[in-house]
């Protein structure tokens, strides 16, 4: 079965750029999606179709996808960006999530 691999954790200082990776076999041939989840809340879509931002998502969130790696970039990271981030892709007609990356802003 298809797998997506993310680093378990990442720490950045406020104002720095956070780069979260998601790796999967030929992931660049698929669309990548990213979700943000804060404690006790439901996931929120922050990037769809590799690089598009849903309405209401700040411009500091951006995405890319090429080769075997999709990347979520948060520029000028703020304290309120501290959360778990999950990548997601479709494999045939099924859904795959990465294991999640806990972003700490300190």
Contacts to other proteins by CB under 8 A: 1, 31, 33, 35, 37, 42-45, 48-49, 54-55, 84, 86, 88, 90, 93-100
Pick the closer one to other proteins by CB: 71 or 88: 88
Shortest Å distance, C-beta 105 to other proteins: 20
Calculate ∠ Cα 72-30-71, nearest 5°. 15
Shortest Å distance, C-beta 15 to other proteins: 28
């Amino acid at each position: 079965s298809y797998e997506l691999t993310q680093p378990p954790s990442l720490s950045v200082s406020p104002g720095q750029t956070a780069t979260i990776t998601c790796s999967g076999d030929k992931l660049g041939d698929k669309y990548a999606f990213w979700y943000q989840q804060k404690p006790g809340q439901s996931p929120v879509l922050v990037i769809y179709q590799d690089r598009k931002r849903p309405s209401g998502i700040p411009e500091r969130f951006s995405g890319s996808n090429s080769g075997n790696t999709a990347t979520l970039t948060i520029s000028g990271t703020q304290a309120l960006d501290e959360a778990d981030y999950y990548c997601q892709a479709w494999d045939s007609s099924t859904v795959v999530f990465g294991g999640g990356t806990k972003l700490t802003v300190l």
